[in-house]
Amino acid sequence: MVAMDMVVGAGGREEETADENYVKGVRHLCESGISRVPAKYILPVPDRPQVVPHERKNNTGSNLRLPVIDVARLRTSDRGRVLECLDRACRDYGFFQVVNHSMSGEALRRMMDVGKRFFGLPLEERSKYMTSDIRVPVRYGTSYNQIQDSVFCWRDFLKLSCHPPEEVLPFWPSAPIDLRDAAVSYAKQIKSLFCDIMAAVLEILGVGSGYLEEFDDGTHLVVINYYPPCPEPDLTLGMPPHSDYGFLTLLLQDDIKGLQVHHRGKWITVEPIPNSFVVNIGDHLEIFSNGRYKSVLHRVVVNSTKPRMSIASLHSLPFASVVSPSPELVDRENPRLYKDTDFAAFLDYISSHEPKRKSFLESRKLPTHEVQASPVA
Ligand SMILES: O=C(O)CCC(=O)C(=O)O
Ligand SMILES: [Fe+2]
């Protein structure tokens, strides 16, 4: 047990005396033996996950079978039909699940296992990577954006910047001993899977595969999310409603439900499929496709019995590149809807705003009177 300075607040809820303790993460908080959620994590009533009574047991709401894309069929004469399904999934859901992909079950298990062992290390070891600097190649932290969040989320994370590998690797955690090996091999394989899916998306959009080369040197972030069991899961969230910033996110999750997608005005729980990835459209692809595809809000609910882990890989263009609507997708009928954006603008935004839903993307929309038929901003 880790000793933490607690006082009992009004209503018997234990309150920590110092906010510094919260930044050590929820795993640390749980290890101190709490039986109620501290006030720091309690969301205002309208933001709480609303769980109907018969679904209360695992706090997951109604389930959704996302469209399933068989990636292996992209390499067969069926490619055309798979592209049609992919286009429909991107338009109707902004989310899909990929199966029959190039990554072995062993590579996925190895990465999950090393991530689990990282979160099992003593806090002293994990906290070597704790920093408020969002530009560093490795970052251990908690909540969604712990610098800006007024209410904290029930999540700890390890973020690994993956490109270029030879530059970032020396900064990655040296424990567990096999983390660097497992993560470098996972990052390489998932980047290749991302490129296969991105090639298909570019083909559907009809913008030519020239862009694909740019992704070779693109940004790549791997985020290992850890959600410990929560004594009062109805009061908080593992992650608040958000969209991801990149082109595509490829998410590996364990067999514990938790991811919810906002679909037709309702929060729907994604059914995990073993050895599959959940893929979603990010803000940069919404901008690049000039709104033909939309990034979709998603959030994570927690449960009272089992820890949950997920590993998100976020991919985009190189750090210095400008993301703008593809000229092929802007014309008189489809005027340009978004301003140019780059990583610096994104990082400035998240360091100075409390992240709310799709607020960064909203800030990149052109005002209606400036919507342009020409591709030039
Ligand atoms: O844990 C999950 O299922 C989702 C994680 C997520 O949305 C993210 O890392 O951006
Ligand atoms: Fe996300």
285-309 pLDDT tens trace:
999 999 999 999 999 999 999 999 9
Q: Are 138 and 160 in contact (CB under 8 A)?
A: yes
The CA R_g of the chain, rounded to the nearest whole Å, is: 21
Q: Please name which of 211, 216, 279, 281 lies closest in space to residue 245, comparing C-alpha atoms.
A: 281
Ligand nearest to the CA of 242: 2
Say yes or no: CB of residue 253 within 6 Å of ligand 1.
yes
Say yes or no: CB of residue 300 within 6 Å of ligand 1.
yes
Order of strands across the sheet that contains 248-253: 68-70, 95-99, 277-281, 248-253, 308-315, 220-227, 156-161, 138-142
Across the chain, mean pLDDT equals: 89
Name 239's bridge partners.
Answer: 300
Pocket test for ligand 1, best of 97, 222, 242, 251 (most atoms within 8 A of CB): 251
Minimum CA distance residue for ligand 1 atom 10: 244
User: How is 106-160 classified by DSSP, letter by letter?
Assistant: HHHHHHHHHHHHHHTS-HHHHGGGB-S-TTSSEEEEETTTTTT-SS--S-EEEEE
d(CA 154, CA 28): 11
d(CA 237, CA 59): 11
168-219 pLDDT tens trace:
999 999 999 999 999 999 999 999 999 999 999 999 999 987 889 999 999 9
Q: Are 180 and 162 in contact (CB under 8 A)?
A: no
Instruction: Check pLDDT > 50 for residue 273.
Output: yes
Mean pLDDT of 217-225: 97
Among 18-27, 136-145, 159-168, the least confident range: 18-27
Say yes or no: CB of residue 223 within 6 Å of ligand 1.
yes
Minimum CA distance residue for ligand 1 atom 1: 310
Say yes or no: CB of residue 225 within 6 Å of ligand 1.
yes
Say yes or no: CB of residue 74 within 6 Å of ligand 1.
no
What separation in Å is there between the alpha carbon of 93 and the centre of ligand 2?
Answer: 14
Among 264-273, 305-314, 337-346, the least confident range: 337-346
Ligand nearest to the CA of 156: 1
Q: Model-level pTM? A: 0.92
- pLDDT band at residue 129 under the 50/70/90 scheme: very high
What is the structure's pLDDT at 145? 82
ipTM score assigned to the predicted complex: 0.99
At position 140, the amino acid (one-letter code) is Y
Ligand nearest to the CA of 253: 1
Site of tokens 């997920």: 310
What is the structure's pLDDT at 375? 57
Q: What is the DSSP letter of 262?
A: E
Q: C-alpha distances in angstroms, 257 versus 50, 212, 274, 292, 308? A: 16, 33, 12, 30, 8
Minimum CA distance residue for ligand 1 atom 3: 259
Say yes or no: CB of residue 298 within 6 Å of ligand 1.
yes
What is the structure's pLDDT at 99? 97
Q: Are 69 and 39 in contact (CB under 8 A)?
A: no
Say yes or no: CB of residue 310 within 6 Å of ligand 1.
yes
Q: Are 341 and 322 in contact (CB under 8 A)?
A: yes
Q: C-alpha distances in angstroms, 55 versus 60, 227, 229? A: 6, 19, 17
Q: Please name which of 339, 288, 278, 341 lies closest in space to residue 313, comparing C-alpha atoms.
A: 278
Say yes or no: CB of residue 317 within 6 Å of ligand 1.
no
**Sign of the dihedral through C-alpha 204, 205, 209, 211:** negative
At position 275, the amino acid (one-letter code) is N
d(CA 55, CA 77): 43
